[in-house]
Amino acid sequence: MRAGALVAAGAFASALTMAASGIAAAEPAGDITVDGTYLVNIDIKPGIYIGDGTPDPATGGCFWRRLWKIQTPEDYPDPNYYIIASDFVRTKPVTVEIKATDVGFSTQNCGAWHLTDAKPNTGSAG
């Protein structure tokens, strides 16, 4: 009986270890469907995104931010310190290039964002 209990305990411990180790994280998404702050290369893929824009430009606008750090309570208190680039727009659609070197992307009242296969603008005409 004792050997059977040890086998059962060992099987339980193995199952618990496997469950606690977790499952590999899902691939980063190419769509952003709700307002929030997202980690680049973890939550979302880098690239050029087109957003639907604010649902009602008369009552508010779309505010997005590319971030070099996600602010924590222990960090420098000015949230603007962590912004690489940002914009507040009332026009539709909205376009932003999220770079692989960005740490985060924050969106408020912009509607859904969708990753495109557009190439970044190099500023060159040819």
Q: Which is higher by pLDDT, 66 or 26?
A: 66
101 pLDDT more than 70? yes
120 pLDDT more than 70? no
User: Which pLDDT value is given to residue 14?
Assistant: 44
Q: Using alpha carbons, select from 96, 90, 89 the residue that is nearest to residue 121.
A: 96
Encode pLDDT of 29-83 as tens digits: 999 999 999 999 999 999 999 999 988 878 789 999 999 999 999 999 998 999 9
Task: Using CA atoms of 6, 12, 13, 14 in order, give the dihedral in degrees to the nearest 10.
Answer: 110
Return all residues near 92 (Cβ < 8 A) that are at least 6 apart. 52, 53, 54, 57
Domain boundaries along the sequence of the chain? 31-115
Contact 103/67 with Cβ under 8 angstroms?
yes
